Amino acid sequence: MFNNFQWRLAPGLQRAATLPLTLTVAAVLSGCAGQSVDTEPQPEDPWEGFNRKVFAFNDVLDRYALRPVASGYHTITPEPVEDSVGHFFANLGEVRTVLNSLLQGKVENASRSTSRLLINTTVGVGGLFDVATKMDIRRQQEDFGQTFAAWGWQDSRYLVLPFFGPSTLRDASGLPANMATYPVTYVDDDKTRIGLGALNLIDKRAGLLEQEDLVQGDRYRFMRDAYLQNRAFRINDGETGDDPFADDDFEFDDADFSDDSAAD
């Protein structure tokens, strides 16, 4: 649900980004859905009243089901094992990234993700170890929501899905294709497939336990803004605009560091 993401508001939530639109995001940081809604809806969130109700529903599921299980899992699972579980499922997601990179014409990223998949599946023992990152082959995740954006569907209304959490009309439209390109979907044995899906969800939720205190104020709006900023960040491949501090011509004035300046 945190859709595989380098969060701009909460960098510590990056691990959860590897799970495409799951209950994790919707339920993880809920709790303020009952707060009053502005009479003037935000342009990106015209269905805020409906979304808050779904947000509250997801919160109940998290509070009484997912979070307790994830907390127990986190308590009894050694950190190296928990890390390996996350690496394993992230490695499976490289298949989706390769396909969507090609659909967007990002041949270089498709090649990089293919290398990551091959290296981590072989040298990394089935994806349990992220050897590729240690070789400086970095992950840049892509999904069908990002592909639709690359094809022209840039702006989309915010939508909270039951069980799946924060999304947009565009990203929700890509959800079936995201599922269809995830290898676990094709595991024949029902018990194994369901077990892997549950483990993936629990592991992602456990990775968020220590991040809950980062959210302040209206948690619904925090989640909404963080999700939308993250999606924009991913769609633009991390390009957030010009940074004046990155300009070689940028100069500080000594007066900026004087006591008088500090007093201002």
44-98: pLDDT as tens digits = 899 999 999 999 999 999 999 999 999 999 999 999 999 999 999 999 999 999 9
Every domain of the chain and the residues it spans: 11-237
- Joined tokens for residue 177: 């294709």
H-type helices in the chain, by residue range? 23-28, 48-61, 67-76, 79-92, 94-103, 107-122, 131-134, 144-150, 169-173, 175-180, 190-206, 219-235, 259-263
Look up tokens 């619904």; give the residue.
220
Q: What is the C-alpha to C-alpha distance for residues 142 and 181, in angstroms, rounded to an integer?
A: 12
Please check the confidence at residue 34 and state whether its pLDDT lies above 60. no
- Joined tokens for residue 147: 């592909």
130-184: pLDDT as tens digits = 999 999 999 999 999 999 999 999 889 999 999 999 999 999 999 999 999 999 9
More confident residue, 80 or 264: 80
246 HSE (CA, 13 A, CB side): 4
Please check the confidence at residue 38 and state whether its pLDDT lies above 60. no
Asked whether the beta carbons of 33 and 220 are under 8 A apart, the reply is: yes
Where is average pLDDT lowest: 19-23, 111-115, 145-149, 244-248?
Answer: 19-23
Average pLDDT of the chain, as a whole number? 81
> Global pTM?
0.75
Q: Is 155 left (phi over 0), alpha (psi -120 to 50) or beta?
A: beta
Give the residues across from 42 on adjacent strands: 45
DSSP 177-203: HHHHTSGGGG-S-HHHHHHHHHHHHHH
- Joined tokens for residue 162: 């039951």
Task: State the pLDDT confidence band at 217, using cuts at 50, 70 and 90.
Answer: confident
Asked whether the beta carbons of 235 and 149 are under 8 A apart, the reply is: yes
List of residues 6+ apart from 108 with CB closer than 8 A? none
Among 65, 67, 58, 66, which Cα is nearest to 165's? 58
More confident residue, 118 or 253: 118
